[in-house]
Structure 1
Amino acid sequence: MASTSRHDWSLHRKGPVDQARHNEKVKEAIRQNLPEIIAEESIITSDGKRLVKVPIRTLEEYRFRFNPNQGKRVGQGDGDSKVGDVIARARPGGQGGGGTQPGDQPGVDYYEAEVTVDDLAELIFEDLGLPDLRPKSTQEIPTEEVRFTEVRKKGPMSNLDRRRTIMENLKRNARRGMPVLGNITNDDLRFKVWEQEMRPSSSAVVIAMRDASGSMGEFKKYITRSLFFWMIRFLRTKYQDVEIVFITHHSEAQEVDEEAFFKMGESGGTRVSSAYKLALEIIQERYDPERWNIYPFHFSDGDNWSDNDNRLCVELVGKLLEVCNLFGYGEIREGGYTSSLMSAFSAIKDPRFVIVTITEKRDVYPALQKWFSRGGMAVG
């Protein structure tokens, strides 16, 4: 009679562990390609709820394979190789083919991973925060903080605690006289359980200013909306009750609602100082610096009306810095020129005036990182 007692049932238990490893590799692949991914138009124009398809390079399992760069060979015996020896390397000089040209090497396989905008936001925002957020005398906003509170035997694979899982496997095998890692079962799996706690943090207002003049072409308009899309999503994800003021300007500035801020067309000339004057008026009327952390952010192509207005802008930025934690100016360029406004701003040496220059889509993510770095942030 055939016996099945020696069958290795551990092969059937590797699914959860392999799934967790695969999910982590997908996350890492997305993380490495965030500069390209977050500026995709399909994401910016989405409602923020639907699935987004992200191209990911195929994640292959390690396996032995024949060396395609050598001819047919037959051999036997132990050979003279040692542990750690490199068996073979990819042959340089092979051609994979590009455009209409043929090649003799295999291509790189890609597949489309479906992720939600929330999944992307989690990866984008994991190391970001409002810089220099200070405790104020009154009015606080609760901030979400994730804490791992306990460990359980069941849970989603995304919360798998690898270290404790390995320890449980080693302990179980040691009890059987085999103190080695292997044959992981569902009984070995351990999962972190986390809770979202609300803790008080200082109140904050962000003043978002957008150049809506006629010189802001399609690319500049798209980059501006892309940056503000993620900025606003970041603020509302991390800080539950942060206030956001929306200002658009051409030769005149006006406060608008969020929908108009994103959808308003571009026309007219440019007088940047009008936006800064309005921001100062709003701060004086509604946001006492003793009670509020204040963060103005402005996007423009720097194509301002006159040198006189540039000098006025420098003066107004100085006044804003007297009452603000940080002022972020983003200039969107098509080409290598430096605007007259940027040249004027070079005279401002205050480290709280943070400038980013954007020339292509992949600059969006570094801009967010530069403005919302956790470094130096004092949270109350």
Structure 2
Amino acid sequence: MGLRDDLERYREVGEARRQDLSEFIQYGDLGQSLPEEVRIPIKIVDLPEFAYDRLDQGGVGQGQGGTPDVGDPVGQPQPQPGDGDGEEGQAGEEGADHEYYEMDPEEFAQELDEELGLTLEPKGKRVIEEKEGDYTDITRTGPASTLDFEHLFKEGLKRKLAMDFDGSYVREALRVEGWGPDEVFAWAREKNMPVSRAWIVDAASEIPETERDRWASIEEMEAEVEEETPIQRIRREGLRQIPFRREDERFRYPEIVEEREKNVVVVNIRDVSGSMREKKRELVERTFTPLDWYLTGKYDNAEFVYIAHDAEAWEVEREEFFGIRSGGGTRISSAYELAKELLEEYPWSEWNRYVFAAGDSENSSNDTEERVIPLMEEIPANLHAYVETQPSGNAINATHADEVERHFKGSNDVAVAYVTGPDDVVDAIYTILSTEDNE
């Protein structure tokens, strides 16, 4: 194994030992990542390198000024490249390129699925292309090249089996003493034989007079002669002819397959009122950021809308969303009113929608029951979610999450999660992503 193979092996080891995904979400530095690039810290990885013992200067020809005589003082070892702080590019800095493992949102979503046991399957909505699929549909007309010969053959074979009868068996009935075409035809009808009276008349004319009393009765004939079924006859003689008819013809044509693009719009709502202090804001960021990465990785096209609110609501850019703070009061319904307005640009028939809100559950009196809950019911979405962030536990007036949870209990499109610290973040993400009904 060469040095290049060793380096590659060490890279693989580093990737395998990157920081646990759950630990990264709970405690890692999310700010090192970008919306399209998730950077997961690698815990321990050192690439192999050559290193010299700084105190060992022995060996032939390594002394300064030739080999010293016995009793001569030995000087201090000279600094070697890479000693001390070193200069750029010297030994010891090789591992810097391996401090992070970079993954795109698609890989992040896949790993989170595996780690949390999630089964979210995105739904395609907007039709971007119609194309011909397999030739599975059937019509009565079409070009000869698309004739469904298998169907034609089966219909013809069924007709042959329905029309066929054992002619030798019927002829033996004409040899019953005292029987003529009329008696034989009546007997054949009772036995559901598809034989015409004309065929029986022709067959009777071919039987010599001396053979017309071979059997004393029809019962004797039936006991002595075995009727051969059409299947037995085909196996014995083979299939020489099949009665095809035009009404049996069917022509295959391709089904039209609609290719749908998996589009999603995610509305992130955050309370920025005076009660939302730093720890609460950090918990919102730790919950919402992985959700953004996850949905970006799951969908072909993901767009994000960020809404900040106190008593009023306004749209903001992602860069300000997690850091902005206001000194005002709280009216959560203002954010849902704005969300409803902004979502008009993303028709429900073409876009999957997620509406995620977070705050400390403190809301103005009666706003949750009278305004927020009705607005949540009015806004069609794959999932509505509310994340309560209360590091010190529930405050006396923090009732919004409880009211929402109580109203929508058992619903498969509304999730409520409670986060009191980083340890709760992964559970909150699981609660949200596992709530949506995939049916």
- Shorter-chain-normalised TM-score: which range? 0.5 to 0.7
Letter in 1 for 2:340: L
CA distance in 2, matches of 1:51, 1:13: 29
- Counterpart in the other structure of 2:403: 344
Inter-partner Cα distance in structure 2 for 1:337 and 1:219: 14
Counterpart of 1:134 in structure 2 is 123
- CA shift in 2, pair 1:234/1:307, >3 Å: same
RMSD of aligned C-alpha atoms? Answer: 3.7
SS of equivalent residue, structure 1 residue 242: strand
TM alignment of 1:65-214, pairs within 5 A: 114-118=99-103, 122-123=107-108, 125-128=110-113, 131=120, 133-138=122-127, 201-214=261-274
SS of the equivalent of 1:254 reads: strand
Q: Which residue of 2 aligns with 1:255?
A: 315
1:333 to 390, 397, 401: 390
Residue 167 of structure 2: aligned partner: none
Are the aligned partners of 1:35 and 1:362 in contact in 2 as well (CA < 8 Å)?
no
Equivalenced residues, count:
252
Return the structure number with greater relative CO, CA threshold 8 A, min gap 6: 1
Shift of 1:334: 1.6
CA contact under 8 A between 2:280 and 2:390: conserved in structure 1? Answer: yes
SS at 1:206 equivalent:
strand
Q: In structure 2, which of residues 362, 368, 375 is the aligned counterpart of residue 316 of structure 1?
A: 375
Aligned 1:273-284 pairs, distance under 5 A: 273-283=333-343
348 and 53 in structure 1: CA distance in 2 versus 1, 3 angstrom threshold: closer
Q: Name the amino acid aligned to 2:23.
A: E
State the Cα distance separating 1:278 from its structure 2 match: 1.3
Pick aligned residue for 2:348 from 264, 278, 289: 289
Aligned-pair distance for 1:329? 1.2
Deviation at 1:116, TM superposition (A): 3.4
1:121–1:216 Cα change, 3 Å:
farther
Counterpart contact for 1:213–1:249, Cα < 8 Å: yes
**How far is the alpha carbon of 1:38 from its aligned partner?**
2.5
Match of 1:43 among 21, 24, 30: 30
Q: Distance between the aligned counterparts of 2:356 and 2:437, measured in 1?
A: 19
Structure 1 counterpart SS, 2:29:
helix
Higher CA-based Rg: 2
Q: Amino acid of the residue matched to residue 224 of structure 1?
A: V
Pairwise mapping of residues 19-38 of structure 1 onto structure 2 (< 5 A)? 20=9, 27=15, 29-30=17-18, 33-38=20-25
- Displacement of 1:250 in angstroms is 0.6
Rounded to whole Å, the distance in 2 between the matches of 1:302 and 1:230 is 21
Secondary structure in 1 matching 2:357: strand
Q: What is the match of residue 68 of structure 2?
A: none
Aligned match of 2:429: 368
The 1-side partners of 2:39 and 2:338 are apart by 39
> Contact 2:108–2:293 (CA<8 Å) still a contact in 1?
no
For the structure 1 residues 201 and 248, does the alpha-carbon distance in structure 2 shift closer, same or farther, using more than 3 Å as the test? same
Does the C-alpha gap of structure 1 residues 376 and 344 become closer, same or farther in structure 2, counting only changes over 3 Å?
closer
**Percent identity over paired residues:** 27
> Aligned to 1:324, what secondary structure does the other structure show?
coil
Structure with the higher fraction of residues in helix conformation: 2
| Aligned mates of 2:7, 2:435 — CA distance in 1 | 34
Change (3 A) 1:132 1:276: farther
Contact preservation (8 Å) 2:413, 2:436: no
Q: Deviation per CA, 1:276-315, whole angstroms, max 9, x where unpaired?
A: 11111222x3122122211111111101121344442222
Q: Are the counterparts in 2 of residues 302 and 341 from structure 1 also a CA contact under 8 Å?
A: yes
Bigger Cα displacement from structure 2, 208-217 vs 332-341:
332-341
Q: Is the 8 A contact 1:205 1:293 kept in 2?
A: yes
Distance 1:126 1:374 in 2: 19
Q: CA deviation at 1:376?
A: 5.4
Check 1:135–1:261 CA distance in 2 against 1; reply closer, same or farther (3 A cut). Answer: same
Pair 1:336–1:125, CA change in 2 (3 A): same
- Note if contact 1:139-1:203 (Cα within 8 Å) is conserved in structure 2: no
Partner secondary structure for residue 207 of structure 1: strand
Instruction: Give the letter for the 1:133 counterpart.
Output: P
Aligned-partner SS, 1:294: strand
C-alpha contact 1:210 1:300 (8 A) present in aligned 2:
yes
Cα distance in 2, alignment partners of residues 271 and 239 from structure 1: 32
Displacement, 1:272?
0.6
Could you tell me whether the CA contact under 8 Å between 2:287 and 2:429 is conserved in 1? yes
Aligned partners of 1:133 and 1:325 also within 8 Å = no
SS, match of residue 417 in structure 2: strand
Which secondary structure state, in structure 1, belongs to the residue aligned with residue 308 of structure 2? strand
Distance 1:274 1:38 in 2: 30
Mapped partners of 1:290, 1:204: distance in 2: 11
Q: 1:120 to 1:364 in 2, by over 3 A?
A: farther
1:292, 1:268 → 2: CA distance? 34
CA distance in 2, matches of 1:123, 1:50: 7
- 1:139 and 1:44 mapped to 2: Cα distance? 35
**8 Å contact from structure 2 (residues 263, 300) kept in 1:** no
